[in-house]
Structure 1
C-alpha cells in the first residue's frame, strides 16, 4: 500500500466519523455508555478532531506523487522531518 493510498483511506475514515458525529448532533441521538449519557459537547469535540485529521490526511495524499512505494515516500519525507544538526564544538 502506498502512503498516498494510506492517507486517503485514513482521511476517508476520519471524515466518516466526523459525519456520523455531526448527524448524531443534528438528529439528537442519545448515546449511553455503561449507564452514563454522553453529552453532545463530546460529539462537537469529535467532529472537530476527526474533521481536522481528515483534512490533514486528504491534504497529505494530494501532496504525494501518485504511485510512490511506501519506502521511497518515507525516505523522501525524512530529511524534512528530522531536526538539523549543528556541528559540535570541540573544547
Structure 2
C-alpha cells in the first residue's frame, strides 16, 4: 500500500462511514464525521498525533457508557477537545 493510496478523498470517507454504519446497524447521523475529524485535529495539534485515535476511541467509549445519544457523543467530544486545548505535558 502506498502513502497516496492511504489518503482518502472526502467521498471515500463518506463511503467508509456508510459501510461501517451498515455493518454495525447504525442509522444516518450516528457517525458524526466532521465532529470526530475536528476532535482528531485538535488532539493531534494540542497533544500529539498518536493521541488522536486514542482520544476518539475514549470519547466513543465514554459516550456509549453515558447512553450513546448524539448529545452524549457531543459532550464527550467537547470534554476531550477542551482537555487537548489546555494540554501541557
TM-score w.r.t. structure 2 length? 0.28
- Report the structure number with the largest CA radius of gyration: 1
Greater percentage in helix: 2
TM-score w.r.t. structure 1 length? 0.27
Structure number with the bigger relative contact order (C-alpha 8 A, sep ≥ 6) is 1
Greater percentage in strand: 1
